[in-house]
Every structure is written in C-alpha cells, then in structure tokens.
Amino acid sequence: MWHVLLSFSGLVALIQLLFLPFFPESPPYLLLQKEDKAGCLKAMKQLWGEGNYQTEFDDLMKEKAITKGTKIMNVLEVLRERSVYPQLCTMLLLLLSLQLCGLKIFVTANLQESIIPYVSLGVSISELISIIFCSSIIDRFGRRTLLCGGYLLMALILVLLETSLLLSDRFLWLRYCSVILIFLFIIAYGIGP
C-alpha cells in the first residue's frame, strides 16, 4: 500500500497549493528583496493581526542595512568558501544516505536489479540539479512563486506516476516513464518546497 502513501503526499501538496495564494508574501522578502515597505507592513498585519510592528520593522531595516554591503554568493563561490565545508559535507552525507532509501519504487516498477544503482545515482543527480537551479532562481521569483509552482508540478507528477505504475504491467515502456517521473518529482520538490 506504499502507493497510497505516495498519493497522500500529493493530496497534501494539492491542499497547500489551493490555500497558498491567500497568504501574503514573507515580510522580510518584501522589504529586503522587493524593497516594498508598505507591502511589508501590510503583510505583517495580515500574518500577525492588528498591532504595532514598528520594532520588527526596525529590526528588518537594520538587517537590510547590515546586508547592503555584503555580496550574495552564487553556487560556485559557496563551493570555494572553506568556512562552509562542514555544512556541505553534512549535506552530501545526507544526500548519499537517501540513496539507501526508496529503492522499493524501482523494484515495484519492475526494473532490472542491475540498473537500479544507476537509477539511484540519477536520483542524486536530480537532487543536485534542483539545489543548484533553485539557489540561482529563488531571488528572482521569490519563495511563494516557487512553492506554488513546485506543489502544482508535484501534484501533476504524482498523478502521472501513479497512473504509470498501475499500467506498467500492460505497457513495459511505462516502467521507464516512472523513473523519469521520479526524477522530475525530485526536481520539482527541490525547486519548490
């Protein structure tokens, strides 16, 4: 019944997708990235109710002043920075340990056991691609847009994945479509949520 659990996460993503447009943007995002002071105060009131949020607003303004002189690093610059090596090693160990999980779906898709390690490696590459891609576009589009798009793509991919797994006994080529859909799901998850 693992496919029911997988479908359940798609249902949760769909519910979040439906309600997300009714929430305001993050106040720090509005002030620090968009430089929208009025929008920031409006979002604070929407999220936290009526009240005086001048202290929080002043804290964000101080943060903006502090970060104004700092340079935002891209992925390659982060990889060259020695101070982040412990965090990078932790992240890589986590990604590698994830490869020991989730192989059941590849067995269920009736893939040959000899190619499952390569498919698992493809999952890792998909995760890496999504991390790099997301870190380069998040400032341009904002978290809200990426969340909405990511959840929408995840819900669509899960419907297609469930369909391809159900029909994989009739059409052998759908087994490989299932693997591609898993890669796309991981990329959509990494870019969005």
pLDDT at 96: 63
pLDDT at 100: 56
pLDDT at 51: 84
pLDDT at 108: 62
Give the number of other Cβ atoms within 10 Å of residue 113's Cβ: 9
pLDDT at 47: 85
pLDDT digits (tens, 9 = 90+) for 117-164: 777 777 777 777 787 777 777 777 777 788 888 888 888 988 898 888
pLDDT at 125: 79
pLDDT at 32: 81
Give the number of other Cβ atoms within 10 Å of residue 64's Cβ: 14
Under 8 Å between Cβ of 60 and 31: yes
Residues 141, 47, 154, 95, CA torsion sign = positive
Of the candidates 147, 161, 160, the one whose C-alpha atom is nearest the C-alpha of residue 189 is 147
pLDDT at 107: 65
Under 8 Å between Cβ of 106 and 179: yes
H-type alpha helices, the chain: 2-19, 27-28, 37-48, 54-68, 75-80, 85-98, 104-108, 116-141, 143-166, 173-191
Under 8 Å between Cβ of 72 and 133: no
pLDDT at 99: 56
pLDDT at 126: 78
Residues in the chain predicted with pLDDT less than 70, given as ranges, are: 2-3, 6, 72, 94-111
Residues 166, 169, 174, 176, CA torsion sign = positive
